[in-house]
């Protein structure tokens, strides 16, 4: 049984009602498009939603925006009421993300994901074409709704992925025909609709330890149980509780996230420590089972090769690539450490050599809760995936270079750190170099400068492509595979992942691995780079206690307790700092701007043309001259500012990310120089605010060029 429940009437309207409802009117709860498609009863943009309070043994209360006092009663067989699930906040607090204080002072968090917002008509048509031609990828996850025509009858909605975003396809039915979706479309029976899967936002009542969904998430589920339409207050025996236990609670969290949510990731990252294999674990009678069955050779990644790894350029261990030379943790003498040669034999070399490969090892118990894809390979060895790391050379080098030049690559916010020292700089200590991760067509890459000299500067990668020292090569970020030795409980990376790292300086190394540069690199950089995928980083950050989180986001300890988001935006505008508001469609970005300036001049960038944004030149037949005509929006702003010189007037570039790159470039000149087309200066009391969807929020969004992005406070 899950811990999801509904609120009582007393928690909403009573003398001791939740603090949420002292600041939020309970009747003003937005229904998601998914809940509307499922038949949610609407009053304007708001929907009716259930409580679990019984009344007179049969009916029960639901919040009704049109009803007196904000509540009404109805029959338990009614399936047009929406659901706002609630649960103890402490059960999810270690797994939430994007913790924030909204303008009312209420804590808002994200946890789980669910189909919510309708995709606009143009992009719905595109998804429908891809669906009909079999080009959409199934994620393996489904969502369930109910159809009561034949009793408790679950209906499955398959989740699809396209360009890194997730959707479901819903076919309209008579239950919802005629209702309007958030984009104004009326629902038609048998018409397909595409709904975006998005993070669920929860409002937190900290005093009562309750998290309540901010929106109505689903509808179409009756309150009654199979045996009776009478409701006496035993909520655990209702169909809607059964639905939340068996379907909703499991579907809002993906399988990967479910593993993460069951564990404190901050603790995981703090506890994970990398080491290297010891000589006796690889060679001899007491070696690990994985080496008895798998052999001691290990394939090296292309990343390791271009960072200086010594590898066998002729032979291949398997399709994984060339066999490589890798370090062991055992010291050979005061000046050298043991290693495994490219042929799999015992070897050793001076600790300051940089061509040694790194094959991390750690107790499997430290990563078992966040591992996935557990299989047995042909040797009977347990093989798991955990973490991700740059590994193989990308096949689409030219395409990635072109995308970088045209600003079509998306930065994920993650980076990887290596040693920038040259392969022959044996006497110099670690000097970090960082490479940013980019997303392109659903895959992640970094561009790495080759730092190796092998076989006369001719370096052969796994694709049989050659490169040379100083070249820049795109490497794809992939899941890391680990071999698990079940007897010893040790997990060892299947491949050699990186190279170019020394053991230590000659004056410090005395066979104590914990004091080496290698150990510091493994546990200061590599652990975080490998396990902290972008999603994992966000999870980890939000799994700390709130004080630590606040300190990370607010290192100077400014007090924002009495400052709303509107105050911060207003302060930036009044200081003549251009502001960019991020968010999904229908989240109130325009409304916030209009709160500051009800008469703001709105420029809809999605439909903007060069003439409408920058003005144009027209021919004057009477004089034979060309006349420069400013754009209409500029004329209006100028008139407003001259009429009220002591008042700030806002120019609002709405949907800036949906504008074509060429139009964004024109906007950049206006924002940077404060003038239009190099001819007309913006008035001194004019201010600029822009808004738009991020790439993961809208199929129509374009990547903003970095110079334009950097002109705003975000």
> Phi/psi of residue 219, each to 5°?
-150, -175
| Dist. CA 500–CA 56, nearest whole Å | 75
77: pLDDT strictly greater than 80: no
Residue 558: what pLDDT? 56
- Section 367-379 average pLDDT: 71
DSSP characters over 278-333: -HHHHSSTT--HHHHHH-S--BB-HHHHHTT--B-SS--SBTTB-BB-EEEEEEEE
Q: Is the pLDDT of residue 75 over 70?
A: no
Q: Is the pTM for the entire model greater than 0.85?
A: no
Mean pLDDT value of segment 202-228: 85
* Distance from C-alpha of 96 to C-alpha of 78, rounded to nearest angstrom: 33
Long-range CB pairs of 27-30 (<8 Å, 24+ gap) are: 27/63, 27/64, 27/65, 27/70, 28/65, 29/63, 29/65, 29/82, 29/84, 29/214, 29/215, 29/216, 30/214, 30/215, 30/216
Q: Indicate if the pLDDT at residue 696 is higher than 80.
A: no
Over residues 167-194, the pLDDT tens digits come to 999 988 766 777 888 888 888 888 899 9
Percent of the chain beyond pLDDT 70?
Answer: 81
pLDDT digits (tens, 9 = 90+) for 471-495: 899 999 999 999 998 888 899 999 9
Range 334-361 average pLDDT: 88
- Residues of the chain with pLDDT > 90: what percent? 25
Residue 574 reports pLDDT greater than 90: no
DSSP tag of 187: P
CA atoms within 13 A on the CB side of 42: 22
Q: Encoding tokens for residue 673?
A: 């120089």
Q: Which helix (H) or strand (E) element contains residue 415?
A: strand 410-419
Contact 446, 293 (CB under 8 A): no
30: left (phi over 0), alpha (psi -120 to 50) or beta: beta
DSSP state of 463: T
**CB atoms < 10 A from the CB of 453, how many?**
16
Two tokens at 502?
Answer: 């020394």
Residue 151 is encoded by which pair of tokens?
């009793």
pLDDT value of position 544: 37
């Amino acid at each position: 049984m899950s811990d999801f429940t509904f609120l009582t009437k007393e928690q909403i309207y009573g003398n001791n009602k939740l603090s949420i409802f002292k600041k939020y009117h309970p009747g003003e709860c937005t229904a998601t498009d998914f809940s509307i498609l499922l038949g949610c009863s609407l009053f304007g943009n708001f929907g009716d939603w259930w409580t679990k309070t019984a009344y007179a043994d049969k009916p029960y209360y639901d919040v009704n925006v049109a009803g007196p006092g904000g509540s009404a009663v109805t029959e338990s067989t009614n399936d047009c009421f929406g659901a706002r699930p609630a649960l103890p906040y402490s059960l999810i607090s270690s797994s939430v993300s994007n913790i924030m204080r909204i303008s009312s002072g209420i804590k808002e968090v994200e946890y789980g994901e669910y189909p919510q917002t309708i995709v606009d008509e143009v992009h719905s048509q595109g998804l429908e074409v891809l669906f009909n031609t079999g080009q959409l990828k199934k994620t393996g996850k489904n969502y369930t709704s109910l159809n009561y025509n034949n009793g408790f009858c679950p209906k499955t909605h398959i989740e699809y992925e396209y360009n890194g975003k997730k959707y479901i396809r819903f076919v309209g039915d008579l239950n919802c025909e005629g209702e309007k979706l958030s984009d104004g479309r009326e629902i038609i029976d048998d018409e397909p609709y595409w709904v975006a899967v998005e993070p669920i936002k929860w409002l937190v009542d900290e005093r009562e330890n309750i998290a309540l969904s901010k929106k109505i998430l689903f509808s179409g589920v009756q309150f009654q149980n199979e045996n009776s339409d009478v409701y006496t207050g035993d909520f655990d025996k209702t169909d809607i509780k059964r639905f939340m236990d068996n379907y909703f609670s499991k579907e809002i969290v993906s399988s990967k996230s479910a593993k993460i949510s069951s564990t404190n990731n901050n603790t995981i990252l703090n506890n994970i420590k990398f080491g290297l294999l010891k000589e006796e674990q690889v060679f001899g009678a007491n070696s690990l089972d994985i080496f008895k069955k798998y052999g001691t050779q290990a394939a090296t990644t292309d990343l390791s090769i271009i960072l200086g790894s010594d590898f066998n350029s002729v032979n291949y261990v398997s399709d994984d690539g060339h066999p490589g030379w890798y370090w062991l943790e055992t010291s050979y003498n005061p000046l050298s450490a043991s290693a495994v040669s490219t042929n799999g034999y015992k070897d050793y070399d001076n600790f300051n050599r940089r061509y040694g490969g790194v094959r991390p090892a750690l107790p499997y118990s430290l990563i078992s809760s966040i591992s996935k894809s557990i299989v047995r390979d042909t040797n009977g060895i347990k093989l798991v995936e955990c973490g991700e790391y740059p590994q193989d050379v990308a096949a689409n080098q030219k395409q990635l270079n072109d995308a970088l030049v045209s600003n079509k690559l998306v930065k994920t916010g993650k980076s990887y750190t290596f040693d920038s020292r040259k392969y022959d700089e044996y006497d110099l200590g670690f000097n970090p170099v960082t490479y940013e991760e980019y997303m392109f067509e659903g895959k992640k890459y970094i561009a790495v400068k080759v730092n190796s000299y092998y076989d006369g500067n001719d370096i052969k990668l796994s694709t049989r492509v050659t490169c040379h020292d100083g070249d820049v090569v795109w490497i794809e970020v992939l899941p890391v595979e680990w071999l698990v030795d079940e007897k010893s409980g040790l997990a060892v990376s299947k491949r050699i992942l990186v190279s170019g790292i020394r053991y230590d300086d000659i004056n410090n190394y005395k066979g104590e691995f914990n004091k080496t540069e290698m150990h510091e690199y493994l546990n200061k950089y590599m652990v975080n780079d490998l396990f902290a995928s972008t999603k994992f980083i966000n999870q980890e950050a939000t799994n700390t206690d709130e004080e630590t989180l606040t300190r990370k986001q607010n290192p100077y300890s400014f007090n924002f307790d009495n400052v709303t988001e509107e105050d911060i935006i207003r302060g930036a505008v009044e200081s003549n700092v251009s502001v960019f508001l991020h968010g999904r469609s229908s989240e109130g970005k325009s409304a916030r701007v209009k709160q500051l300036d009800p008469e703001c001049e709105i420029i809809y960038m999605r439909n903007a043309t060069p003439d409408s944004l920058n003005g144009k030149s027209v021919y004057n037949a009477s004089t034979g001259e060309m006349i420069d005509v400013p754009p209409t929006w500029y004329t209006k702003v100028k008139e407003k500012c001259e009429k009220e010189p002591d008042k700030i007037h806002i120019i609002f570039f709405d949907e800036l990310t949906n504008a074509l790159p060429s139009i964004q470039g024109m906007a950049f000149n206006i924002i940077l120089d404060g003038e239009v087309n190099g001819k007309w200066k913006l008035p001194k009391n004019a201010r600029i605010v822009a808004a738009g969807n991020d790439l993961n929020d809208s199929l129509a969004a374009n990547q903003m060029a970095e110079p334009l992005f950097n002109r705003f406070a975000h």
